[in-house]
Amino acid sequence: MFMHKMLLILHLFILSNPVTTAEPPQNQEKISINIDPLKHQLYLYSNSQLIKKYTIALGKPETPSPVGEYVVINKYKNWGKGFGTRWIGLNVPWGTYGIHGTNRPYSIGHNASHGCIRMHNHDVEELYEFVRVGTRISFGGHVLGKLSENPRSLAKGDSGGDVQIIQYWLRSAGFYNGECNGKFNSTTELALKNYEKKHGLPVDGVAGYHDYLHLGLVE
């Protein structure tokens, strides 16, 4: 049963570095990107062939990077202070997320951002030439984080894929009628409180371990 639920969660969501500089794509080439959060690596593919990989920074445990598949929706040069020299925006429904450069190069290789993907400026400048609006970006990992660790507690004002999962399960249980958009708002809080009251859980409107356990999202 637990594995079945984990597969359902994934279904809801989707669910050797070359030394030489990669050449920008020809028009007929299909570009895609895969991100491995455990290795802090971004893999660039052309026609399903790996052509380059880059070391990146991802979100901190309290502000994780999204999990699942998204597409590029915009691209800008010198988008703003703190975002380095390039910005590649993604269609994440619960906030503004993207791949960008950084003025903190020492953070690369770590979980250090508010959820975006950070790259060295020279790397993101190269990547920028490959991607187009509509390019697919796949983030690996599990929406609840590392399965060996307890998921983060969620409260009003939080956002992320884990919030979206809570919304899905509250809706399936008949307690939530709002949009499953990954934003923990007042409607989500009220639905969770009603669920907690109905099932004899501490009524605090905070998705903690006891809520995850009762919803069957952890064991």
Q: Hey, which residues are catalytic here?
A: 100, 116
The burial of 102, by beta-carbon neighbours within 10 Å (0-12 exposed, 13-18 middle, 19 or more buried), is given as: buried
Angle between helices 161-172 and 2-13 (to 10 degrees): 120
AA identity, residue 48: S
Cα 206 to the center of its chain, rounded Å = 21
Among 16, 8, 12, 33, residue whose Cα is nearest residue 130: 33
Report the 10 Å Cβ neighbour count for 147.
9
C-alpha distances in Å from residue 22, one per residue of 52, 130, 150:
7, 9, 40
DSSP bridge partners of 74: 89
Using DSSP's 3-state secondary structure scheme, residue 74 falls into strand
C-alpha distances in Å from residue 100, one per residue of 3, 48, 64, 166:
35, 23, 16, 29
What is the maximum alpha-carbon separation in the chain?
A: 60
